[in-house]
Structure 1
């Protein structure tokens, strides 16, 4: 059953098919020469007898984190955002159909992310993706709104010398971002992904992001 679910997931994320709706004839484009353009999303197809089929396809962005050694045949699991670990074979299937990749360099022992900081207030897309994958949800204590629907906050404000960096950005839902902007709640990020939230009453709450999977240990051969 687990393998069947994985196969269905891969099929849904990588396939497209016809909707069954058809448009017959040419559109009236205000006196043109009778030709019309048809656009399809997902699979491409040909139209016959003046009929143009429309197609559906998954347009969502799905984050799958896969260790490079897994892509090369290793057995370390991948990570599907919002779901959790996935088996290496499913991870390789999804990676094989991915239209693009974002390379994330990590420290070989601590797993900490290296580099890719920005020099402007605007957060580049690859850095947005990395922070949202790291955080998973809004980082306010007890809030479980998915990070993909959250805003990215400079923990130390840009106007106060804060940087647009992996260690100074955190996902906050619109409501809790407003609480910070209005001065009700304060946040600190002593380490990338470690958030200290300070309430209006001065109480502190510590939240941590799930660490990336550690590299497999070097196991000596049994001889």
Structure 2
């Protein structure tokens, strides 16, 4: 996607000009980073001016500390990953996409650079048109896969155990109070499931791809908070009325009794080799909580009755699910929870458990030209209530695939974009072996050590040449 070339933009040249200007911003940033790398590698800035490069960016460039860190971090990663630098220089990766990639992969040790560069090159080939958040999710998978395949034997990988607590803070007048606390992944997911207020009401947005009204968003957040607290109170009241040992142990909610249940996503590879790292699916922002091996094992051993597990293979496809029906049964709905974390609308971050189940190709046939779609993992995916009700009205069509990927197309404008499921990942088994360790890594974002930098070129009088 090296340029903006959509015929519909001829009808609205201002939009085309704005989009092209954003691409020009990317090219200018690429030029800035090329020069930044050169100045870092030569050390010429401070040698010639006596002022560090960062001060020039602050005083003359008027960049904030966050922007300066982003530029230095990007320069460091591009120096390490030449294939990524080529993709950015060629316009295949935008500046926002590069920033999220840098944030995810920049912390990996330099001994993995060869494998990492090959993996990121594949990632860009597969989804250069993806939104930055989706690219960040793919980069997180890469980081996890590469560190699992090439662990550092000297690194202490002991799990971090939070200091769990629940703090109650009453008001001085005795009319109530606030509470807050800290919990591990299992207990936090249990609390979220037990107090789940259910699907949200009418959305705060007016159509597919539109931003929500801030006031309506705040009102919905307050309403969900009130309903979540009421759920917690209902659970506690029921527990008080039916103490331990009572046969009726389900949580009383909304006049009925709904058992608490957790849905976990397990990797087939991890399940086979005994690592058992899992993710618990929730309605919370982001849609999931990660569990390490110890927490997953403890959950399976101590609370198996609460858990439904869905296993996915190394391509992100659900293992053992393939039955078809018009309305998705509970097992298929749980399988979709394991494939997706959020709504499949481009750019939407509504948690999957707060979404409707939508057929990419409508289940109802529309004549001989358009047969009905199937009800399976390939064709059914989560879609928030607003997008589900307005996508056809706003001119969008979708095509699903077995790995959970959806391609959205807008015939009126020619726009096409892929949304990728949370389980989609790049194959890493055949990547090049990492370079052997060569010693301590240099500090991130500061360029190579001073003694590794090329000498500053001098003129005939021994003075540094200007740049």
TM value normalised by structure 2: 0.34
Tell me by how many angstroms 1:79 deviates.
1.7
Distance 1:20 1:123 in 2: 34
Q: 264, 271, 285: which is aligned to 1:64?
A: 264
Tell me by how many angstroms 1:190 deviates.
3.5
Tell me by how many angstroms 1:45 deviates.
5.6
Contact 2:342 2:352 in 1 (8 A): yes
> Please, which moves more after superposition, 186-195 or 124-133?
186-195
Alpha-carbon distance change, 22 to 147 in structure 1, aligned in 2, over 3 angstroms: closer
- Secondary structure of the corresponding residue to residue 130 of structure 1: helix
- Secondary structure of the corresponding residue to residue 196 of structure 1: strand
Deviation string 1:39-65 (CA, Å, 9 cap, x unpaired) is: 52x73369xxxxxxxx99995432222
- Partner residue, 1:87: 292
2:356 maps to 1:155: no
Deviation string 1:172-215 (CA, Å, 9 cap, x unpaired) is: 00100112343621111144311111235231111111226899
- Partner residue, 2:404: 193
Distance 1:179 1:105 in 2: 33
Unaligned runs of 5+ in 1: 24-38, 47-54, 218-223
Tell me by how many angstroms 1:135 deviates.
1.2
Deviation string 1:140-159 (CA, Å, 9 cap, x unpaired) is: 01110001010001111112
- Partner residue, 1:2: 160
Contact 1:118 1:124 in 2 (8 A): no
Tell me by how many angstroms 1:117 deviates.
2.9
Distance 1:150 1:197 in 2: 18
Deviation string 1:10-69 (CA, Å, 9 cap, x unpaired) is: 456399xx958999xxxxxxxxxxxxxxx52x73369xxxxxxxx999954322223578
Larger RCO, structures 1/2 (Cα 8 Å, 6+ apart): 2
Alpha-carbon distance change, 2 to 154 in structure 1, aligned in 2, over 3 angstroms: same
TM value normalised by structure 1: 0.66
Alpha-carbon distance change, 8 to 59 in structure 1, aligned in 2, over 3 angstroms: farther
Distance 2:324 2:275 in 1: 37
Unaligned runs of 5+ in 2: 1-158, 165-181, 195-234, 282-286, 365-370, 430-467
Tell me by how many angstroms 1:165 deviates.
0.7
Distance 1:120 1:185 in 2: 25
2:419 maps to 1:207: yes
- Partner residue, 2:378: 167
Distance 1:111 1:70 in 2: 13
- Partner residue, 1:52: none
Distance 1:170 1:188 in 2: 10
Q: 313, 318, 326: which is aligned to 1:121?
A: 326
Contact 2:403 2:424 in 1 (8 A): no
Q: 332, 342, 352: which is aligned to 1:137?
A: 342
Larger CA Rg, structure 1 vs 2: 2
Contact 2:358 2:383 in 1 (8 A): yes
- Partner residue, 1:33: none
Richer in strand (by share): 1
Question: What is the RMSD of the two structures over their aligned residues, measured on CA atoms?
Answer: 4.1
Alpha-carbon distance change, 125 to 155 in structure 1, aligned in 2, over 3 angstroms: same
> Please, which moves more after superposition, 76-85 or 198-207?
76-85
Across the two proteins, how many residue pairs are aligned to each other?
191
Deviation string 1:79-99 (CA, Å, 9 cap, x unpaired) is: 222344321110111222031
Distance 1:76 1:215 in 2: 20
Richer in helix (by share): 2
Alpha-carbon distance change, 56 to 73 in structure 1, aligned in 2, over 3 angstroms: farther
Alpha-carbon distance change, 178 to 77 in structure 1, aligned in 2, over 3 angstroms: same
